[in-house]
Structure formats: C-alpha cells, structure tokens
A = this chain, B = another copy of it.
Amino acid sequence: MNIFNLLAPKEKKFFPMFEKATSNIVETSKVLVEMVNTSSMEKRKELIKKIEELEHVGDQITHDVFDHLGRTFITPFDREDIHELASVIDDIIDFIHGASKRIDLYKVNELPSEVKILADLCLKGSIELDIAIKELKDLKSVEKINEACVRINSIENHADDIYNMYIAKLFEEEKDPIKIIKFKEIISALEVATDKCEDAANVVKSIIVKHA
C-alpha cells in the first residue's frame, strides 16, 4: 500500500476514461465481426474505414489517460497499473485494426472461417473486459470481476487453439506461399488481440489483489 494513499482523497477521473476505452473496444470488435462476415466488398471497405476511425478514438483516450496520469499525484491505484492497463487496452484495438488493415491491403476476398471465429472471440473478450472495468470503480463485487477474468482466460485459450490448428492446417494444405504469408499475418493479429485482452485481465486481477 502506497503511503501517499493516506494523504488525499483518491482521484476518480480515471474510471470514466477506462470505461470509455473498453466501450470503444467493444464497439470496434462489433464492427470487426460485421466486417469479416459481410459478403459485399464495398461494405467491407466501409467497415475497415470505421475500424480505423475507432482506432483514432482509442488513441485519443489513451493519450488522455497518460496526460491525466502526468498531472495527478494521487491515483486510485498504482501509477504503473494505470499506465499498463491503458497501454494494453490500446494494444487490443491496435491489433484489431492491424488485422483489418491487412485484410484490406492484401486484397484477400475469401476469409477462412477461423478469421470469423477469432473475430467473435475478440468481441467476447472485449465484452468481458468491459464488465470487469466497470466493476473496478467501486470494487463492490470482486467476484464479478474475477468471473469476467476467468472467462477472458478461457476465451484466450480457445483463440490459441483455433490459431494453432489453423496454422498447422495452413502449412499442410495451402501450397501457395503468398497466401500463407497473408493469412498467417491476418490471423496472428487477431490472436494477439485476444492475448492482449488476457494481459488487461491480468492487470485488473493484480489491482484487485492489492485493494480487496
């Protein structure tokens, strides 16, 4: 426990910022799911642009957290945890954006079903993270936070299995090395996005361990 915590009321502005950040991730993941499932290339292009815009929104939120952290001496939990949590949430959206940008750049028309499954897992992970973050404010229900974190863990494990099976299949069945490069990079970005959800859940868990 930081002794300075005794000296002043805790700064509460971080919570609405984090809630904005996770809401933004949920929204981005929803657009991602729509984008990988549409059959219209025009619609897809539009949704990829929407993801790009949401990524800029996320950047601004992260910037606001860092800026506020720089100006605030007493924080509701450890400075390192606030910094880490904001960075990791920013990473989630960066990897979703990276995957969608690659789908665009590589001019991949047909997406494998694994891309759709991983997009779904990104959305599920984002929703659970949003739940955990919203509960963090008053630490009323540590149990609810823990449950969300457990679900994020199993979502990440599922994403890992999908990724591993897909890569093994890709190297066995796909004979065109250019397609291997393209699909491997797209699907890796989505898998890392779910990893980053788990990293965020780990920061949340370490915060409640210290404060519960």
A interface with B by C-beta (< 8 Å): 1-3, 63, 66-67, 69-71, 73, 78-81, 83, 101, 105-107, 164, 167-168, 171-172, 177-178, 180-182, 184, 202, 206, 209-210
Contact = CB atoms under 8 A, between A and B. Distances in A.
Contacts of A210: 67, 70-71
Contacts of A180: 178, 181
Contacts of A73: 1-3
Report the copy number of this chain in the oligomer: 3
Contacts of A206: 63, 66-67, 70
A183 to B, nearest CB: 12
Contacts of A106: 167-168, 171
B71 A1 contact: yes
The 9 closest A-B pairs by CB, nearest first: A177-B177, A70-B210, A105-B167, A177-B178, A105-B168, A70-B78, A106-B171, A67-B206, A105-B164
